[in-house]
Amino acid sequence: MKRSTFLRLGLLTIPTTLLPGMMQTKGQANTPYPTIGKLISYDSKFEQLIPSDSQLDVIASGFEWAEGPVWIKEGEFLLFSDVPRNSIMKWDQESGLSLFMHPSGYTGAADYGNNNGSNGLLLDPQGRLVLCEHGDRRISQMPWDGGKRTLVDAYNGKRLNSPNDAVFHSNGDLYFTDPPYGFPGYVDDPRRELDFAGVYRLSTTGELTLLTKEMTFPNGLAFSPDEGTLYVAQSDPNAALWKAFSVNKDGTLGQSQTFYDVTSSVGQLRGLPDGLKVDQRGHIFATGPGGIYVFTPDATLLGKIETNVAAANCGWGEDGSVLYITADSYLLRLQTNTKGSGW
């Protein structure tokens, strides 16, 4: 994609008016961004990943529930969802915050609750935007020159629940989670057609495979750098944990094991296991109660990035060393000494 494509997109489709309550902050040399939270180290390896003087910059705020950050390299900007507002927001260093898309995840006429927008966002191997849409109960793809198409919206003839997050395998297959969070009536909504929350794979040929339905509320997911392991978060307050699945040669999932369990922290700290990302060396940056947990591949907890609010998701940006974090009403930014897997 050419940079001019993104410039045209910005001029034609991105309004500059913010939604009520939203705020953007300008960081200059003499007027730094406001900060929140703190870094907590349990191991010296944590300081090797995140400088001890790094701070959580609040670069924008006022969202109802920010989610799904994705960095657009060619355009040098960040996109993220405000799920209850059915909107995707755009942020860049030069212009700050603007509305990118509305509606983003629900296009129906009837009332569909307050959790109906897009959630996870990512780019496909061709650089097109892919959206997990709660209200329209599908995963869609949007080329930058306009229009959308549905990638998947049903399994065995039954509509999906509300696709939440997704990740691409290097072969182009799309792995995604499908909990019931987008339903106005939650798990008991009469519109629900599947009685489980699955983890799926959509192949490049369009074949949809249910990989597992063993997780109660599967949420964020990410591959290890060698793609031999798929990490999946479970946002269940009664079993708040992350699982690690072995990935078979044919792309299906093998046996799972509990990677780390934080159920004891539920209620004491804000948030649940949600979005997660992996760096080039296989460290896992996983949102959970209290902020972001930083693990080694063998599940050693190196430290935490405390956000003071419920953290929803995170994503690598800029040169791959900057971690953008969506946490409740905030968009946060943290400089690290590592880089995201794939950068």
Q: What is the mean pLDDT of the chain?
A: 93
Band the pLDDT of 19: cuts 50, 70, 90. low
pLDDT digits (tens, 9 = 90+) for 122-152: 999 999 999 999 999 999 999 999 899 999 9
* CB distance 47 to 54 below 8 Å: no
Can you give the pTM of this predicted structure? 0.92
The per-residue pLDDT for 23 is 62
Instruction: Name the one residue in this structure whose structure tokens are 């008991």.
Output: 188
pLDDT of residue 7 exceeding 80, the answer is no
Token code pair at residue 275: 């979005």
Token code pair at residue 54: 């790094």
* Number of Cβ within a 10 Å radius of residue 256: 16
Q: How far apart are CA 132 and CA 91, in angstroms?
A: 20
Task: Report the percent of the chain where pLDDT is more than 70.
Answer: 91
Band the pLDDT of 225: cuts 50, 70, 90. very high
pLDDT of residue 187 exceeding 90, the answer is yes
pLDDT digits (tens, 9 = 90+) for 243-264: 999 999 999 999 999 999 999 9
pLDDT digits (tens, 9 = 90+) for 37-48: 999 999 999 999
Give me Rg for the CA atoms of the chain: 19
The per-residue pLDDT for 17 is 54
Q: How far apart are CA 138 and CA 227, in angstroms?
A: 25
pLDDT of residue 295 exceeding 90, the answer is yes
Q: How far apart are CA 38 and CA 55, in angstroms?
A: 7
Q: How far apart are CA 338 and CA 55, in angstroms?
A: 15
Q: How far apart are CA 81 and CA 94, in angstroms?
A: 20
Q: At CA 237, angle to CA 233 and CA 240, rounded to 5?
A: 35
Q: How far apart are CA 60 and CA 144, in angstroms?
A: 25
Classify domain 3-9+35-335 at the CATH class level: mainly beta
pLDDT of residue 12 exceeding 60, the answer is no
Token code pair at residue 25: 């902050």
What phi, psi does 8 have (nearest 5°)? -65, -40
Tell me the average pLDDT across 175-190. Answer: 97
Q: What is the secondary structure of 140-197 as a DSSP string?
A: EEE-TTS--EEEE-EETTEE-S----EEE-TTS-EEEEE-STTSTTGGG-TT---SS-
The per-residue pLDDT for 146 is 87
Q: What is the secondary structure of 203-258 as a DSSP string?
A: -TTS-EEEEE---SSEEEEEE-TTSSEEEEEE--TTS-EEEEEEE-TTS-EEEEEE
Distance of CA 338 to the CA centre of its chain: 19
Token code pair at residue 277: 């990302």
Tell me the average pLDDT across 87-114. Answer: 96
